[in-house]
Amino acid sequence: MKLDHYRVKAGKLNLPDIKTGDTGKSTEEEALARIDARRPKIAELQERLYAEGKQSLLLVLQARDAGGKDGTVKHVFGGLNPQGVVVHSFKVPTSEEQGHDFLWRVHAQAPAAGMIAVFNRSHYEDVLVTRVHGLIDRKEAEARYGHIRAFEELLASRGTRVVKVYLHISEDEQKERLQARLDDPEKRWKFNVGDLKERALWDDYTRAYQDALSATSTKAAPWYVIPADHKWFRNDLITRLLLETLEDMNPQFPEPDFDPETVEVV
C-alpha cells in the first residue's frame, strides 16, 4: 500500500475510521526483511545529507501514552550515525519557557543543515494537552494552528523537510502496554500514574488530535497516521517513509575544493 494512503488529506479527519491494527496484508517476517533491506540505504543517505550540509530533516513523532514513540526512535534510528541525528523531547515548559511564545523553545531545536532531528513529542503538545485540559480555548487553538503552519513553512523554505507522524494505537492496546509496564520490574520506571488520568480523557484527546492534524497537515509539512498496534508494521512504514523522504531530498556528497590529482599523501 502506498504511503499516501496514510497521509492526512484535506477535510475533517476521523481517527476511529482508521484501523490501528492494520498490517497492510503483510506478515511480520516480510516486514522485518524490508526493514533490514532499507537500513544500509538510509545510512548512506544520512551520510550524504550530513556531508552535503545544505538540507535537513525534521521528523515529528506524536502519540498517546505508550504509543511507541521511544520504540520508534530506538528501532528506526538506532543504526544511524549519532553525529548526524539529534532527538529532542518537549516536557512541561519551564518558567523561562513560559515567559516566551509557545514556539520559542521549539525553534531552537530545529535541525541545522546536514542534520536529522526527531521530536519525541513536540510543539503539538501546546495544542493537545492545553486544549484537553482547558488551558486554551478553541479560538486560541486555531490561532496556534496558524502559527504552527507558518513556523513549519518557514523551516521548509530554509531547506528543512518536515514530516509528521501520529502513532495510532487502540484503547485496548494502550491498556495492555501500560499493564505490561506495571507488571515488569524492569519497565516500571516508565510507568506514570498520571498516564491513567490522561487515559480517562481518551475521547477528548481523540477530538484534539483530529482537530490538530486536520488543521496542520500541509504540503510543506504533512501528517501521516501510522497504525501502531503492531510494532513491526509501525517500523516498516516509518523506515519506508524515512527512506522515501531522503531519496526525494537526494543529498549529494560535495565536490572537493581542490584537485585530488595534485595531492599526494606521503
Quote the pLDDT of residue 10. 80
Quote the pLDDT of residue 166. 98
Residue 84 falls within a domain, yes or no?
A: yes
**Among residues 144, 141, 120, which one has the least CA distance to residue 207?**
141
Where residue 224 falls (left for φ over 0; alpha for ψ -120 to 50; beta otherwise) is beta
Neighbours of 195 (CB within 10 A): 16
Residue 260 falls within a domain, yes or no?
A: no
Residue 261 falls within a domain, yes or no?
A: no
CB proximity list for 196: less than 8 A, separation 6 or greater: 178
Average pLDDT for the chain? 95
Neighbours of 99 (CB within 10 A): 9
The domain that holds 174 is classified in CATH as 3.40.50.300
pLDDT tens, position by position, 3-62: 999 999 988 899 999 999 999 999 999 999 999 999 999 999 999 999 999 999 999 999
Residue 167 falls within a domain, yes or no?
A: yes
Say how far apart CA 239 and CA 76 lie, in whole Å.
6
pLDDT tens, position by position, 66-78: 999 999 999 999 8
Residue 29 falls within a domain, yes or no?
A: yes
Type of residue numbered 150: A
In this prediction, residue 1 has a pLDDT band, given cuts at 50, 70 and 90, of confident
For the chain, give the percent of residues with pLDDT over 70.
100
- Model pTM? 0.95
Q: Which domain holds residue 99?
A: 3-247
For the chain, give the percent of residues with pLDDT over 90.
89
- CB burial of residue 61 (10 Å; 0-12, 13-18, 19+): buried
pLDDT tens, position by position, 110-160: 999 999 999 999 999 999 999 999 999 999 999 999 999 999 999 999 999
Residue 161 falls within a domain, yes or no?
A: yes
Residue 254 falls within a domain, yes or no?
A: no
Residue 67 falls within a domain, yes or no?
A: yes
Domain count across the chain: 1
